[in-house]
Amino acid sequence: MPKLQPELIIFDLDGTLVDTIVDIASSVNYVLSQFGLPNHEISDYKQMVGNGFRVLVQRVLSPEKSNDDIFFDKILRLSMQRYEEHALDRTRPFPGTVETLESLYRNEIKLAVLSNKPDHLSKKIIESLFASVKFVAVWGDNKDRARKPDPSATLELCRNARVDPQKSLFVGDSAVDIQTAKAARIAAVGAVYGYRSREELELAGADYLITSPPELLSIVEFK
């Protein structure tokens, strides 16, 4: 496929820019253990993340426990609290991510983050791990924005950056991200190195696939 000349690139966070899965899994498993509930493997969490923390907790609990509103809210609150305290214990950018973002920024491509992770945690991680990179926006989940795959936040990012959606690019590691891009009618890049499979990204309709962050530079043509 031809190279792209995007003016704005929107990135997912977990599984795309940073590897957060160990901190997420250990935090939630810790809380589950306090209630005598079974823990889940890292490989399980890779399939359960992507739709926000509330959905993650629904997925780790049995249907019976999830339907108990009082119990569910307690597990959600404690899991969030535990994760907030340990969100940066072992979370790191994927190899080559910082250098890739710096190269894009040097070539005057605007950069943004759109995540279903809580907004304050998304900002905390970006500020801590990407101090050398300037983003036009870092948006996580809050009550004022619809979560991915709803395209409204993506389109709002484009408007705020004064960039036509057709001159934008969305990079993510799950079907949720690809669906978001498709709904917004912008080009979608699937990050195969993330938490989901190549097959999932292909079935979702990714326009491009990359196996490492630096590979993104091979499909972007600088002006």
DSSP letter string, 40-86: --HHHHHHH-SS-HHHHHHHHS-HHHHT-HHHHHHHHHHHHHHHHHH
What DSSP designation does 61 have?
A: S
Query: Could you say which residues of the chain have pLDDT below 70?
Result: 1
* Topology agreement, domain 8-19+92-218 and domain 21-86: no
Span 21-86 CATH architecture: Orthogonal Bundle (1.10)
User: Residues for the chain: how many in total?
Assistant: 223
The residues spanned by each domain of the chain are 8-19+92-218, 21-86
Residues noted as catalytic:
12
Per the DSSP assignment, residues forming a β-bridge with 92 are: 19
**What share of the chain in percent tops pLDDT 90?**
94
Residue 41 C-beta-side C-alpha neighbours within 13 Å: 3
> What pTM did the predictor assign?
0.94
In sequence order, the 6+-apart residues with CB closer than 8 A to the CB of 24 are 14, 45, 49, 56, 83
- pLDDT value at position 1? 65
Q: Which residue has the tokens 């079974």?
A: 38
Please tell me whether the peptide bond between 149 and the residue prior to it is cis, using omega within 30 degrees of 0.
yes
Query: Residue 200 belongs to what H/E stretch?
Result: helix 198-204
Whether 189 and 42 have beta carbons less than 8 Å apart is answered as: no
Q: What would the two tokens of residue 117 be?
A: 């992770």
Distance between CA atoms of 176 and 141, rounded to whole angstroms? 14
- pLDDT value at position 223? 73
Q: Give just the sign of the alpha carbon dihedral 121, 112, 4, 168.
A: positive
- pLDDT value at position 26? 98
Q: Does domain 8-19+92-218 have CATH number 3.40.50.1000?
A: yes
Q: Quick one: which of 199, 162, 204 has its CA closest to 181?
A: 204
